[in-house]
Amino acid sequence: MIIGITGKVGSGKTEISRYLNGKYNFRHIEVDKIIEKYIADGKLAKIKRYLSDELGIEPEKDIDIVESFFGRGIENHLMDLNFKREIDNIILNEVKKYPDETVVIDWFFLEKSAVFSQCDILIKSEVDYDLRKRRYIERAGKIDMAKFCHLDDVHDDNLSEKYHLVIDTAKPWKEKLSQFIDLNVQNRIKISVVVPIYNAEEYLNKCVTSIQNQSYQNLEIILVNDGSTDGSLTICEELAKKDKRIKVISQNNGGLSNARNKGIDVATGDYIGFVDADDYICNTMYENLLKNALNSGADISCGHAFVHSRDGKIINLSDDERLITTPTSRKGILNAHLSGMITTAVWDKLFKLDAIRGIRFNESLFNEDAGFMMDLCLKSNSFVCDTNQYYHYIKRRGMSLTGRKFDERFFSTEIWGEDVYQQILNLGTEYKSEAEKVFFNSLSHVLKTYARDYSTGILENYYCDDIQRVVNKIINLLFISDDISQFHDIDNVLKIIELLLKDKVIDQEQFPKITLPCIGILWNSLQGGLMDEAIEMLSTKAIIKDITFVDLGDQYRPFLDEIYLYNNEKIGVTIFKANVLIDRYATNTIAIVQMNIDISRFIHYSQKKGYMYKEIAEIKDWIREYFMNKIDEYAFDNVFHLTVDMEEYEFTKQICEKYVWEPEQKPKVMVKTHEQQ
């Protein structure tokens, strides 16, 4: 293993190198000594004269500055004398003498050398500009700013991402460096990385290089060529010749799940990760995921990803806060998974190999990651979640194992979701919410993927009967759920259903329906024939079971207060409603209408009211809007009140029984049935 250390003048790279040499038994190659000998052998006469005459540098006295051969202004001389190539060869030949040792190369001009690309681990020292100047003066006694700036130009800020560790030597740094070396160099834990490959020759080198360049180097890289018809296999074989950590498996095309399962079968590591062949990873991904796993004792260590969209935008899939969270109980793990803390994808994670023994990627399931991760969650394995982004997921239109256009295979996710729903329900009634969320997520995944391709016009089949079935299952699930706001992206799902209805892809007449008992109250603002007109309108939308006309007298105000208590209205709201109704019209007679309404659709009604049956919302708005201009002093809600669900129906029924439907207890109240009216 080669550790390269570099940094700008005065940044403290020499202190870092000395510390490593003092604490660890690494082989240290002194590049300064190599150059000094090169000069002593008389090989640099021309360069030496140039440095002395043009830059005022005495090579024998300041060997660090001699390294500025690679700096701006003398490049032509360097190329003429092949100096860089000779020095590189000397260094690399020195490294070859110690094939089984960890070699440390401390070199100011490492970035300008071919040795840079040969380093397994790259460490850079970095401090602020003023401190570097002070250190330079302390060492040299004075500062030549032109020379100082020339030396700064040697380092390229565009190479920052290549470094595995950047150390600020103005702050305590030795413990940080020791922890890094202990984990990435001294640690013998092996990580197997499985890369399933299908026709990925254009992206394969970048993908595998990002794995090879990990700060954590004890890797087994398993390249599974899944029947590629391009040059992917050749690239794999060439990469394996140059890196003994790479193992190549070639097989007939079996699909993504099959290729991953093959990788699991041959893996010999303590941990295992998965990377898709057309993506790439940050160079500290496996170091950080392993560190989190070891520190927490978790079996699965999770990160997050950047998504590179087709239009070139990069989307951050993580949260703003950088927290490490460890869900422990089965219920906690399930909820972490369903909330997105533990994502469905497997490629941004590190798994303890023993923890996934016996779990396979389902080769008949199109959304194979979902099945794999759900199996892990149900096994109650321990997870640690780091919301930093390490994985770069690239969306491309080309062929790959994960480039998927909607077809009938997607409906396997629907069947899988229904099976898992029953499986989780069997754990106990306390898991009802989790079971519903899993089933909803599987159905919505099918629907949203269908809608994506439907909107772009690339569907080869409209699958009307199948999509009708999926939508019907969603509606049935919403019917039985205690809180539909728990479902992820429910607003978008409801919009898709409305779009498909509008385009007649699905048929509302085939929707499942429930009959909801409701209580509607027509307030006394509807005078004369308006009350009868409102009842006639309601009869076209609902089955009216009974109507009670009543003047509540001095009980009208407390009746209003209690009716609106259900909606947590402030006291000022009920006072306002009373003021616009009581004694403002010829009579205070109201009509209480008991009715049944057939329900099959849902909408998000408002921020305050939340989600509501669409048929209920339409009736509420229809009555109010119709009479808005027909009554004096219209105020919102002083025309019609309608219960929106069973809970509100039961509450309102109790209030009506208290004030209206038990006349023997309320002798002052005049009650008339619909027939008497």
- In terms of DSSP bridges, do strands 383-394 and 324-325 run parallel, antiparallel, or are they unpaired? antiparallel
Instruction: Give the domain CATH number at 564.
Output: 3.30.70.141
If you write DSSP's letter for every residue of 574-636 in order, what string do you get? HHHHHHTTTTSSS--EEEEEEEEEEE--EEEEETTTEEEEHHHHHHHHHHHHHHTTTSSS--T
Residue 474, both tokens: 């969603």
* Residues 384, 293 contacting (CB under 8 angstroms): yes
Which amino acid is it at 311?
D
Task: Please state, in angstroms and rounded to a whole number, the distance separating the CA atoms of residues 15 and 12.
Answer: 5
Is the domain of 361 the same as that of 380? yes
Q: Is 62 exposed, middle or buried (0-12, 13-18, 19+ CB in 10 A)?
A: middle
Whether residue 76 has pLDDT greater than 50:
no
Domain hosting residue 237, numbered range: 187-394
If you write DSSP's letter for every residue of 203-223 in order, what string do you get? THHHHHHHHHT-S---EEEEE
CB atoms within 10 A of CB 608: 8
Is the domain of 488 the same as that of 547? no
Whether residue 50 has pLDDT greater than 60:
no
Is the domain of 284 the same as that of 383? yes
The answer to whether the Cα torsion of 362, 365, 369, 372 is positive or negative is: negative
Position 434 confidence tier, pLDDT thresholds 50, 70, 90: very high
More reliable by pLDDT, 66 or 197? 197
Is residue 235 one of the residues assigned to a domain? yes
**What is the arithmetic mean of pLDDT over 41-56?**
60
Is residue 78 one of the residues assigned to a domain? yes
> Which segment, 207-211, 319-323, 579-583, is predicted with the most confidence on average?
207-211
Whether residue 292 has pLDDT greater than 80:
yes
Instruction: Give the domain CATH number at 269.
Output: 3.90.550.10
Whether residue 36 has pLDDT greater than 80:
no
* Residues 292, 324 contacting (CB under 8 angstroms): yes
Given 492, 510, 528, which residue is the final one in a domain? Answer: 510
Given 473, 488, 510, which residue is the final one in a domain? Answer: 510
Is the domain of 172 the same as that of 151? yes
Is the domain of 614 the same as that of 491? no
More reliable by pLDDT, 62 or 653? 653
**What is the arithmetic mean of pLDDT over 564-590?**
77
> Phi and psi (nearest 5°) for 180?
-65, -45
Is residue 126 one of the residues assigned to a domain? yes
Mean pLDDT of the chain: 84
Using CA atoms, how far residue 119 sits from 102, 135, 223, 241, in Å, is 11, 28, 23, 18
Given 476, 510, 544, which residue is the final one in a domain? Answer: 510
Residue 498, both tokens: 């409305």
Is residue 403 one of the residues assigned to a domain? no
pLDDT digits (tens, 9 = 90+) for 136-173: 666 656 555 555 555 556 678 788 888 999 999 889 99
* Residues 505, 464 contacting (CB under 8 angstroms): yes
Is the domain of 342 the same as that of 277? yes
Q: Is 201 exposed, middle or buried (0-12, 13-18, 19+ CB in 10 A)?
A: middle
Position 614 confidence tier, pLDDT thresholds 50, 70, 90: very high
pLDDT digits (tens, 9 = 90+) for 463-475: 999 999 999 999 9
**What is the arithmetic mean of pLDDT over 650-676?**
65
Instruction: Give the domain CATH number at 88.
Output: 3.40.50.300
| Range scoring the smallest mean pLDDT among 11-25, 256-270, 303-317, 476-490 | 303-317
Is the domain of 451 the same as that of 532? no
Residue 265, both tokens: 């079968």
* Residues 9, 85 contacting (CB under 8 angstroms): no
> Phi and psi (nearest 5°) for 318?
-95, 180
Is the domain of 389 the same as that of 420? no
Is residue 402 one of the residues assigned to a domain? no
pLDDT at 398: 43
More reliable by pLDDT, 200 or 319? 200
Task: Please state, in angstroms and rounded to a whole number, the distance separating the CA atoms of residues 17 and 27.
Answer: 11
pLDDT at 216: 94
Is the domain of 169 the same as that of 249? no
Is the domain of 491 the same as that of 522? no
pLDDT digits (tens, 9 = 90+) for 388-426: 899 999 986 543 344 467 888 889 999 999 999 999 999
* Residues 416, 442 contacting (CB under 8 angstroms): yes
End-to-end CA distance of the chain: 96
Is residue 400 one of the residues assigned to a domain? no
- The number of domains in the chain is 4
- In terms of DSSP bridges, do strands 543-551 and 514-522 run parallel, antiparallel, or are they unpaired? unpaired
Position 430 confidence tier, pLDDT thresholds 50, 70, 90: very high
Is the domain of 538 the same as that of 495? no
Which residue from 461, 475, 468, 366 is spatially nearest to 417, judged by alpha carbons? 366
Is residue 401 one of the residues assigned to a domain? no
Counting residues of the chain whose pLDDT is more than 90, the rounded percentage is 54
pLDDT at 400: 38
Is residue 399 one of the residues assigned to a domain? no
Residue 630, both tokens: 């027909």
Is the domain of 138 the same as that of 250? no
